[in-house]
Each structure stands twice: as structure tokens, then as C-alpha cells.
Amino acid sequence: MKSPHQDRAVEKLDFIEQWLPARYTTSVNIILKKEPRDPAYIRKVKKKKINDHQVIDALYKVSLINKFQKEK
């Protein structure tokens, strides 16, 4: 049985998959300004769904911004 935390993580990853723009690594690093990551690592987290909460949260924020921009 999945925990509520796992359900939220799956929902967040689904949202990222749907709304993340094609070019996103620079935006993710702007959000992670104190601890930027290598663009290849960011893409790996997204593709392989690696459990890196900071990067996933940044991907989610970039996806939210993209969704709001497209809905205008």
C-alpha cells in the first residue's frame, strides 16, 4: 500500500511530465541558485525519477510557471 507521501510524489511527477517545458535546466538552476546541479543530472532526475526532493521541487515549480504562462 502506498503512503500519502508516495501518492503526492507520483502526482507531482505526473504534473512535471505534463507541463515541463522543453528547455528547463537553466530555470531549475535559477530556482536552485544556492546549490545548482549539472544539467545532465537534472535531466536524469526527471527521466529516471531519482528521489532528489530539491530537484523535483524545482522541476515542479518550473512546470507550474509554464502551465500558468500557457493558460494566459
| Structural domains in the chain (count) | 1
pTM of the complete model: 0.89
* pLDDT by residue, tens only, the chain of 72 residues: 667 767 788 889 999 999 999 999 999 999 999 999 999 999 999 999 898 999 999 999 999 999 999 997
Could you list the residue range(s) of the whole structural domain that residue 30 is in?
4-71
Locate 23 and state its grid cell. Answer: 528547455
Instruction: Tell me whether residue 24 is exposed, middle or buried, using C-beta atoms within 10 angstroms of its C-beta: 0 to 12, 13 to 18, 19 or more.
Output: buried
